[in-house]
Amino acid sequence: MPRRSAKAALAAMEGRFDSGPYAAITLIGQPNVAQRRIDNPLQVPGMLSFLAFGAFHMSVPGLEQFPPDRWPDNIELLYYAFHIMVGLGTLFIAVMAVAAGLYWRGALLSARPVLWVLMLAFPFPYIANTTGWMTAHALFEISTLPALGSCGSVARTTTSPAGTDSKVGNVARASLMTS
């Protein structure tokens, strides 16, 4: 299976089907791959160009610049996983800033609503971590051990130094060879 283009995956993460300058960042929306657009978008114009390249006028490549066989397999999953991860990260920053401000003023322990938010937010790091791994998996194929080839060949038989065939330790040996 050929490695997919990381630039195409990045375009899919943001739901960018068309290329161009002043690229808007999509805060909320649903990717419609069949029509190659984002349905019901809430966007900030020019922000994606600024975040990606440091200037609002820079052109951001969209999926249209890549052949469809170089696109990620599941654009919707990649889009939603990335947006959930980023949204929860932004929420963490806001909640912790409020809590730190209240703590600094000595009022955190008497601010019951903030304490409830902090307590009820306990599953969010797990969700953000899981969606982050989903995003990373979609961006980069799990083929970090080139000596093993694709993931399906992990259990292939090799000859050990003693001359006997062994499947045990192939992953460890390959990771030592590539690091």
| CA separation for the pair 136, 68 (Å, rounded) | 20
How is 27-68 classified by DSSP, letter by letter? EEEEEETTTTEEEEEEEETTHHHHHHHSSTT-EE--GGGS-G
The pLDDT value recorded for residue 97 is 96
The pLDDT value recorded for residue 177 is 42
Q: Tens of pLDDT along 114-136? A: 999 999 999 999 999 999 998 88
The pLDDT value recorded for residue 141 is 52
Model pTM above 0.85: no
The pLDDT value recorded for residue 173 is 39
The pLDDT value recorded for residue 136 is 85
pLDDT under 50: residue ranges of the chain: 1-4, 142-179
